[in-house]
Amino acid sequence: MESIPAGNRNRDRCWEMPKQCLSMKSFVAAIGVYFEPNQFDGKDDVEGDLHKLVENVDGKAVISDKGDTSEDWYTKPMREQRTMMSDPMWIRTNFRKRPVFLL
């Protein structure tokens, strides 16, 4: 991303990869795309924060504003400047329990 000048970055393209991944992998429940304020294209004042969750809802990619970036799943990796994986959280979807990991 850093090789593309901020003015040439396209927010709509941020959703293409997560949508493709969700359509190919039925075991993936969601992919979050979260950027620090104005770090993607500097247009947060006009277009809003770039914090979106792309969820697999009945086989369709649905984009929402879910995800509180004030929580540890976001603040800890940012503070420690490293990739982290959460402990599993178990959720029930389509009548079965699934593990959810945050990476």
Q: Concatenated DSSP letters for 68-94?
A: -TTSHHHHHHHHHTS---PPPEEEEET
pLDDT of residue 14: 86
What tokens were used for 54? 């792309």
Is the pTM higher than 0.85? The answer reads no
Q: What is the pLDDT of residues 50-101, one digit of tens each?
A: 888 888 888 888 898 888 888 888 899 899 999 888 888 787 766 777 777 7
- The pLDDT score that the predictor gives to residue 1 is 67
Q: What is the pLDDT of residues 1-52, one digit of tens each?
A: 678 888 888 888 888 888 888 888 777 788 888 888 899 899 998 888 888 8
